[in-house]
Amino acid sequence: ASQARFHIKEIVKASIDMVGIWMKLLLGDILMTIYASIFAMA
């Protein structure tokens, strides 16, 4: 039982890491878009 629980914990940790990576990519895209629009206006 403890082995299965450890496995679930690993999966949850990996999922959180993946979400973090996606958030960074999305935020990077948004920031790049904002910078591009600012430079386009300037």
- What's residue 1's pLDDT? 63
CA atoms within a 13 Å half-sphere pointing along the CA-CB vector of 1: 0
Residue 2: predicted pLDDT: 76
DSSP codes joined into one string, the chain = -HHHHHHHHHHHHHHHHHHHHHHHHHHHHHHHHHHHHHHHH-
Cα 11–chain centre separation: 16
- How much is the pLDDT for 5? 84
* pLDDT tens digits for range 1-42: 678 888 999 999 999 999 999 999 999 999 999 999 999 987
Cα–Cα distance for residue pair 30/36, rounded to 1 Å: 10
CA gap 22, 35 in Å, rounded: 20
Q: Which amino acid is at 25?
A: L
